[in-house]
């Protein structure tokens, strides 16, 4: 992998990740852009104890442009985009309309391929491995920013999810706090460790799931299952068999196997509802240990956390979506329409 860092016309950082070590990146962003001005602000809810970002400048972000005006395609034929070069393998750049900025963190866009009509599932294993390298490198770099406590790599896919740009891409959020979801896991981890004589909760969950009926697929270094208490109609958790806290800690064997396993999962998701259905909308989310202090979670350290990927869709059956209504949105009590055992069975049925 070759990494080349440059700057866009408004000062934002852009990084090319190339498969070839001899690739030269010298294209200049000639757009007449003014410096990006953001108004991101973090506010803490005194009742719930969580934090939200207020980012009014995002109202002006690009919304469902036609394919020939996509800002994530390379700059070609006189049309200038967010990527100055005429081609790329993988590219990462600072979001022009970030939810988090400055002392409030950082938001980046990850373009998986220059092919506008592709999806992550269409990538070959070499390209998917390059995306993994980009995720890992950005996790490392962002973790060293003074304001950052947690790094979150994710992909939103599909208009039903709320995606406004059709080009295959994901995002990275670098939060200035430990997110509520991760805090819940850390509290459960600490409580279990104390109650179970030091046993690691993630290890116990993985062992139990792999001995049960909700396993979707297994590799030598990775395993995927539908969790016992899945929140979403079709939800899969992908774990490395050797517990590590973050992407940086994956060994070479796990990195080598990941593309094959992950691409198979994504391709199965697209077959859940039948060959004639549109591509399955999904969210794919990496859970990594925070880089900030963990003094609020007594007895827990970073190495107790288990890196894992959560992949789920809001489509519950052909032509029907799972909406978060009163119980889910009002009380955070999910109601799942698809039994996790049936979801796992279906995901095994649609294997390649």
Our CA angle for 318, 320, 326, nearest 5°, is 150
How would residue 207 be classed by pLDDT, with cut points 50, 70 and 90?
A: very high
Cβ(264)–Cβ(311) below 8 Å: no
pLDDT digits (tens, 9 = 90+) for 129-167: 999 999 999 999 999 999 999 999 999 999 999 998 999
Catalytic site residues? Answer: 169
Chain position carrying tokens 């207020």: 54
Residues facing residue 76 across a β-bridge: 79
Query: What is the overall mean pLDDT for the chain?
Result: 95
Over residues 31-44, mean pLDDT: 85
Cβ(164)–Cβ(61) below 8 Å: yes
Q: How far apart are CA 315 and CA 130, in angstroms?
A: 29
Model pLDDT, residue 64 = 67
Q: How far apart are CA 175 and CA 145, in angstroms?
A: 10
Cβ(312)–Cβ(236) below 8 Å: yes
Over residues 211-224, mean pLDDT: 98
- With a cut of 80, say whether residue 57 has pLDDT above it: no
Containing H/E element for 182? helix 180-195
- Among residues 255, 62, 264, the alpha carbon closest in space to that of 169 is found at 62
pLDDT digits (tens, 9 = 90+) for 255-295: 999 999 999 999 999 999 998 889 999 999 999 999 988 99
Give the Cβ contact number of residue 135 at 10 Å.
21
Containing H/E element for 44? strand 41-44
Report CA-CA distances (Å) from 312 to 163, 288, 321, 323: 15, 17, 12, 13
Cβ(321)–Cβ(219) below 8 Å: no
- Among residues 156, 155, 149, the alpha carbon closest in space to that of 179 is found at 149
Give the Cβ contact number of residue 197 at 10 Å.
6
* Tokens describing residue 29: 């962003």
- With a cut of 80, say whether residue 36 has pLDDT above it: no
Our CA angle for 311, 312, 317, nearest 5°, is 150
How would residue 68 be classed by pLDDT, with cut points 50, 70 and 90?
A: confident
pTM exceeding 0.75? yes
* Tokens describing residue 108: 């980046």
């Amino acid at each position: 992998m070759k990494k080349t860092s440059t700057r866009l016309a408004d000062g934002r950082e852009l990084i090319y990740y190339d498969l070839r070590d001899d690739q030269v990146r010298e294209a200049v962003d000639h757009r007449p852009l003014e410096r990006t001005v953001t108004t991101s602000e973090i506010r803490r809810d005194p009742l719930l104890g969580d934090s939200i970002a207020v980012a009014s400048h995002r109202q002006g972000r690009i919304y469902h442009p036609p394919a020939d005006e996509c800002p994530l395609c390379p700059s070609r034929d006189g049309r200038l985009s967010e990527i100055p070069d005429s081609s790329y393998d993988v590219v990462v750049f600072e979001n022009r309309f970030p939810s988090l900025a400055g002392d409030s963190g950082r938001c980046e866009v990850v373009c998986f391929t220059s092919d506008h009509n592709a999806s992550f599932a269409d990538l070959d294993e070499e390209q998917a491995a390059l995306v993994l390298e980009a995720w890992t490198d950005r996790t490392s770099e962002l973790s060293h920013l003074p304001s950052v406590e947690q790094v979150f790599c994710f992909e939103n896919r599909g208009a039903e999810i709320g995606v406004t740009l059709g080009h295959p891409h994901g995002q990275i959020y670098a939060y200035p706090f430990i997110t509520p979801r991760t805090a819940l896991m850390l509290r459960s981890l600490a409580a279990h460790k104390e109650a179970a004589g030091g046993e690691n909760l993630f290890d116990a969950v993985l062992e139990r799931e792999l001995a049960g009926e909700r396993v979707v697929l297994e590799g030598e270094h990775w395993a995927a299952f539908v969790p016992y208490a899945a929140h979403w109609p079709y939800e899969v958790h992908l774990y490395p068999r050797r517990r590590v806290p973050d992407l940086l800690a994956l060994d070479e064997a796990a990195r080598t196997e990941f593309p094959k396993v992950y691409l198979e999962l994504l391709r199965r998701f697209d077959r859940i509802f039948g060959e004639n259905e549109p591509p399955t909308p999904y969210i794919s989310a990496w859970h990594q240990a925070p880089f900030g202090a963990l003094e609020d979670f007594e007895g827990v350290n970073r190495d107790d956390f288990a890196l894992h990927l959560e992949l789920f869709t809001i489509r519950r059956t052909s032509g029907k979506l799972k909406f978060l209504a009163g119980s889910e949105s009002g009380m955070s009590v999910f109601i799942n329409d698809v039994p996790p055992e049936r979801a796992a069975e279906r995901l095994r049925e649609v294997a390649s």
